Chain A
């Protein structure tokens, strides 16, 4: 069974750093791209970027380039989304997900709520 299990909710202050995780199982980790999607409170889905676990090369949406870092650890089949300096507008649910060869997301994590507040 394919599973993407994300790390738990976080509460941070502006300026703090954060890394959230997405642990995958049930499939060949290096065979599918991993993507991250943001959903701000009451809003729609925003694509942030994706990474090819086979070569660890990320691609970012222009809207998120330079503000987040996407990475993987192939040894433990886990992907990460990282901020070096959080801002209040980063408050959102973040989903990790698997992209298949049809370029659609066929499996999603349960989401990680990140709250940034002073």
Chain B
């Protein structure tokens, strides 16, 4: 099984800040990595796929980068609607999938 370590588990930031969230895997993911945003009481929403590709309709302040076993989600300038929980998800050994533990982004 692939182990995913997402950090930080929570972060406090302000509107306009730049925030970075990291996922580290126990093995090379070959870019099979996605990022999701989840707001309370709602289903998650896909932000990034293939490590760095922006899902249609997602604001360009969201970006993904990384390679090998380490990947990063960056929000370049936080907006009020960005305060939520973020998850990474790997699928290198598809059909097996693993989510990261989540990062709570708070004001």
Contacts and interface: CB of A to CB of B under 8 A. Distances in A.
Interface of A: 33, 35, 37, 44-47, 50, 59, 61-62, 95, 97, 100, 102-106, 108-111
Interface string B69-107: 000000000000000010101010011111111100000
Contacts of B50: 102, 104
A35 B46 CA distance: 15
Report the contact-size class of chain B (Cβ under 8 Å from the partner): 20 to 34
Given A105-B46, A109-B43, A50 B95 contact: yes
Interface of B: 1, 32, 34, 36, 38, 43-46, 49-50, 53, 55, 85, 87, 89, 91, 94-102
Contacts, number: 63
B34 A104 contact: yes
23 contacts: A33-B95, A44-B87, A44-B102, A45-B36, A45-B38, A45-B44, A45-B99, A46-B99, A47-B98, A59-B95, A61-B97, A95-B43, A95-B44, A103-B94, A104-B46, A104-B91, A105-B36, A105-B44, A105-B46, A106-B46, A106-B55, A109-B43, A110-B43
A99 B1 CA distance: 20
Q: Is the interface of A mostly helix, strand, loop or mixed?
A: strand
Given A45-B99, A105-B34, 4 more contacts: A33-B95, A44-B101, A45-B38, A108-B43
A103 B99 contact: no
A35 B43 contact: no
Q: Which 9 A-B pairs have the closest CB atoms?
A: A103-B91, A104-B34, A108-B43, A59-B95, A44-B102, A47-B97, A104-B49, A45-B99, A102-B49
